[in-house]
Structure 1
Amino acid sequence: MDLGLANKVVIITGAGKGMGPEITKSFCYEGSLVSVLGRDLSALEILKEKYPEYRDSISLFSCDVTKADDCDRAVAEVVSKHGQVDVLVNVAGGTGPVGIPAWETSPEAFEEIVRLNMAGCFHMMRAVLPPMIARHYGKIVNVGGTFGMHGRAGRMAYSASKWGLRGITKSTAIEAGPHNINVNIVAPGMVDGPRFRTKVMPGMAAARGITEEQAIDEHASEYALRRISQAQDVANACMFLASDVSRQITGVDLPVDGGWAAL
């Protein structure tokens, strides 16, 4: 199926880490013109080295998503270069305190993760919506998390930030709908990758007194599909919601978690 993403102007935040590179590559593969935004341009430049075949499809823009003025400026620069913005994919985010109960979470740590995971997405949405409204077209995909759909012990601040992002997404979907703008949220569960392999699973294995492979198998057993999500799974969901194939879908949470949220 042709998703119709060729020559679409796509802004992606958080492109340099975690799921970001795979999401960026996937949009480039579809023929999109991808603008990646981040605080560290040298880290983003690595994307062009990693995917040389897409070097001409990727443009880099400096932006700290926690600063509204930065987001306004960066989006204006993208519009100046490409003439429009068709798609925004908000990937940038953080994990916040891990394994710390609510009463031991510092106000500073709480505010920091809320500012990044909630305000960062809000600032970017606020910046892209006026040019999208002017063209009566746009797709916004926010990357949340399944802990924003279920409470999680030791992850209160992160859960709060992702739960709040769901509210931002759903309310904006209602407001932007009359302007032919879709706003949705992709909620990954645990995604295989460096952090999963070098931090999460070793920690689980040590705590349970089992091997890392046993920890992975035990983790996968929590999911209906009995397998861990890959970054490409998340990228596929983002592309679907960014395309006109999903034109009648807005304001939804789409878990990409192998069925964890459903259990």
Structure 2
Amino acid sequence: MDLMLKDKVAFITGPAKGMGAAITLAFAKEGCKLALVGRDTAAIEPVAEEARSKGCSALVIGCDLTDAAQCDAAASKTVETFGRIDVLVNVAGGSGPMGKTGVETTPDEFDEIVTLNMNGCFHTIRSVLPSMIENRYGKVINVGGTFGMKGRAGRLAYSASKWGLRGITKSFALEVGQHNINVNCVAPGMVDGPRFRDKVCKTMALKFGISEEEAAIRHAQDYALKRITVDEDVASACLFLASDVSRQITGVDLPVDGGWAAL
């Protein structure tokens, strides 16, 4: 199926590695023009070069997403370069303290992850909406997480931030739908990669006296599909929500977790 994303302008945060890089390259493969936004431009540039090798334009913009003025400047630079913004994908975020109860979590730790995961998305949405409203077209995709749908002991700060992001998503969806703008949330479960292997699997392996690979297999048993999500699964969900195939879908949480949060 042709998703008809060729030449759409996609503003993507957190594109340097892992899920963000996979999403960036998926949009590049579809022929999008890319604005790749984040603090560490040196880390983003190799991904931008790979995107360019696929024949697409890729603009790298330095931006602290917790600074509203910098987000406004990044959006303005994108519009100045490409003429408009069609798609926003908010990937950037943090994990916050792990294994700490709410009582053990410090106010500073809580504030830091809420500021990054909620304020950052709020700022970028506000920054790109004027272009979308002017053109009566837009797709906003926030990358949340299933711990923001069911909660998780030991991850209070992260769960709170992602739960809040769902509220931001739904409220913006109600406000801008009249302008032909869709706002949705993709909620990955545990995604295979260094953090999953080095932290989750290693911790489980030590706890049960098994190998790290056996730990990964045991973890997968929690899911209906009995497999761990990979970065490309999340990227495909973002492409779907960025396309007009999903034109009548807005304000939803789409779990990409093999069947954990919804079942």
Whether the aligned pair in 2 keeps the contact of 1:48 and 1:55 (CA below 8 Å) is no
Distance 2:121 2:52 in 1: 29
Matches within 5 A, 1:144-163: 144-163=144-163
Q: How big is each residue's C-alpha offset from its partner over 1:34-82, in whole Å with a ceiling of 9 and x where there is no partner?
A: 1100111101112134456237521101111111000000000000000
Q: Which residue in the other structure is 1:261 paired with?
A: 261
Question: Map of 1:186-197 to 2, 5 A cutoff?
Answer: 186-197=186-197
Shift of 1:18: 2.4
Deviates more, 1:71-80 or 1:51-60: 51-60
Q: Structure 2 matches for 1:150-189, cutoff 5 A?
A: 150-189=150-189
Residue aligning to 2:72? 72
Alignment-derived partner of residue 223 in structure 1: 223
Runs of 4+ in 1 over 4 A off after TM superposition: 49-52
Corresponding pairs, count: 263
Please tell me whether residue 214 in structure 1 is matched to residue 217 in structure 2: no
Deviations 1:91-137 (A, max 9, x none): 00000010000011000000000000000000000000111111111
Structure-2 change in CA distance of 1:55 and 1:100 (3 Å): farther
Which whole-Å CA distance do the structure 1 matches of 2:247 and 2:35 have between them? 23
Deviations 1:150-184 (A, max 9, x none): 11000000000000000000010000000000000
Judging changes above 3 Å, is the alpha-carbon distance between structure 1 residues 173 and 52 closer, same or farther for their aligned structure 2 residues?
A: closer
What is the match of residue 11 of structure 2?
11
CA separation of 1:107/1:253 partners in 2, compared to 1, >3 Å: closer, same or farther? same
Displacement after TM superposition at 1:195 (Å): 1.4
Task: Determine whether 1:91 maps to 2:91.
Answer: yes
The aligned runs of 1:238-257 (5 Å cut-off) are 238-257=238-257
**Structure 1 pair 86–51 and aligned structure 2 pair: CA distance change class (3 A):** closer
CA-atom RMSD, angstroms?
1.1
Secondary structure at the counterpart of residue 104 of structure 1: coil
SS in 2 for 1:178: helix
Q: Secondary structure at the match of 2:25?
A: helix
Q: Identity rate of aligned residues, in percent?
A: 62
TM-score for both structures, normalised by structure 2: 0.98
